């Protein structure tokens, strides 16, 4: 039986990336071919270490992890320890991994796997887009080799979280993001418009904490740190955004997209206050979003707002049967 999606997960493994990985790893019908890491929530090497920790937690250490870009194309990088903890996983002390990343760089791995399985791979990018843009430079035909790309990033009709107008993943490398979103492949963009509406709550954390499972206990522990940040700095109450897990669930078809027009999207790369802003042409909403010539980005603007319960249910269950391939 063919998997419902065959993924490369490109991430900057902090708390919500870990939750996204755990969600996917608990689905026996999802084939994770590889994990690639990038700077963002933490540095790329720590992100790889964290990814290995999460994979080993569920007995999936055979999935290869490759380290990618350590900074954006301007050579800068600013981690987010206040959000994700000094270790990127809420300072929870998850045991160090026994395995290590593979030597192949992330962008090269993406290109190689795409060439080996043309039309099969779905790229799920839940960090800055530097690895994907680098892969495009290595293989200009990559859009013809990849089945789909799902990106957690951007803010369309919503305030930013890195600046007043820009979302963090896009703002961390606007030049790379612009290249990826304009490459002509089929992209689903999951912006703050929906990830800030699908909120994780104390109830979700308590449900995870009550489950008799190492995975659910770990998820509840890192979510405690996440809720602390969002209560203090964002919402003023104990609820947290559901960024990367929502994008993962949309990528594998588990969350219905209530409104997702295919529109033209550009990224502002100037040095002013609009740097990193995602500009989507949503003027067609008054006419039911007619087709836009040359547009290839489906922008998710509304979901059912019921996903956090599904996330908790999945993480309280048993991990999936395992990926079908090893790179």
Active site (catalytic) residues: 12, 243
Q: CB within 8 A of 8, min separation 6: which ones?
A: 32, 33, 34, 35, 36, 109, 110, 113, 121, 122, 123, 124
Q: CB within 8 A of 283, min separation 6: which ones?
A: none
Pairing of strands 30-37, 5-11: parallel
* Number of other CB atoms surrounding residue 200 within 10 Å: 26
Q: CB within 8 A of 252, min separation 6: which ones?
A: 4, 5, 7, 24, 27, 30
Rg (alpha carbons) of the chain, rounded to whole number: 18
CA distance 236 to 217: 25
Max intra-chain CA distance, the chain: 56
Pairing of strands 302-303, 257-259: antiparallel
**95, 53 Cβ separation under 8 angstroms:** yes
Closest C-alpha to 97, from 166, 41, 165, 45: 45
């Amino acid at each position: 039986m063919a998997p419902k999606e065959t993924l490369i997960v490109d991430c900057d493994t902090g708390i919500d990336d870990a939750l996204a990985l755990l969600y996917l790893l608990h689905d026996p019908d999802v084939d994770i071919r590889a994990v690639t890491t990038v700077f963002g929530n933490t540095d790329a090497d720590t992100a790889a270490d964290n990814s290995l920790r999460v994979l080993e937690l569920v007995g999936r250490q055979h999935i290869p992890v490759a380290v990618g870009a350590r900074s954006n194309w301007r050579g800068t990088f600013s981690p987010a320890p206040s959000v994700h903890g000094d270790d990127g996983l809420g300072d929870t002390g998850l045991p160090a991994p026994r395995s290590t990343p593979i030597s192949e760089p992330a962008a090269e791995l993406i290109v190689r796997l795409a060439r080996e399985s043309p039309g099969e791979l779905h790229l799920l990018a839940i960090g800055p887009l530097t690895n994907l843009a680098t892969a495009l430079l290595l293989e200009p035909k990559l859009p013809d080799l990849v089945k789909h790309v799902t990106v957690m990033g951007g803010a369309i009709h919503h305030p930013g979280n890195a600046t007043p107008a820009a979302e963090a993943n896009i703002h961390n490398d606007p030049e790379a993001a612009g290249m990826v979103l304009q490459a002509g492949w089929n992209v689903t963009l999951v912006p703050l418009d929906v990830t800030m509406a699908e909120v994780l709550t104390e109830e979700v954390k308590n449900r995870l904490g009550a489950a008799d499972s190492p995975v659910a206990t770990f998820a509840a522990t890192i979510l405690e740190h996440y809720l602390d940040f969002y209560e203090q700095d964002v919402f003023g109450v104990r609820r947290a955004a559901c960024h990367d897990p929502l994008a993962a669930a949309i990528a594998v078809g588990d969350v219905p997209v209530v409104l997702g027009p295919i529109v033209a999207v550009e990224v502002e790369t100037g040095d002013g206050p609009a740097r990193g802003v995602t500009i989507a042409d949503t003027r067609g909403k008054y006419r039911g979003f007619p087709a836009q010539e040359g547009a290839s980005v489906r922008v998710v603007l509304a979901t059912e707002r019921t996903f956090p319960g599904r996330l908790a249910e999945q993480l309280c269950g048993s991990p999936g049967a395992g990926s079908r391939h090893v790179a």
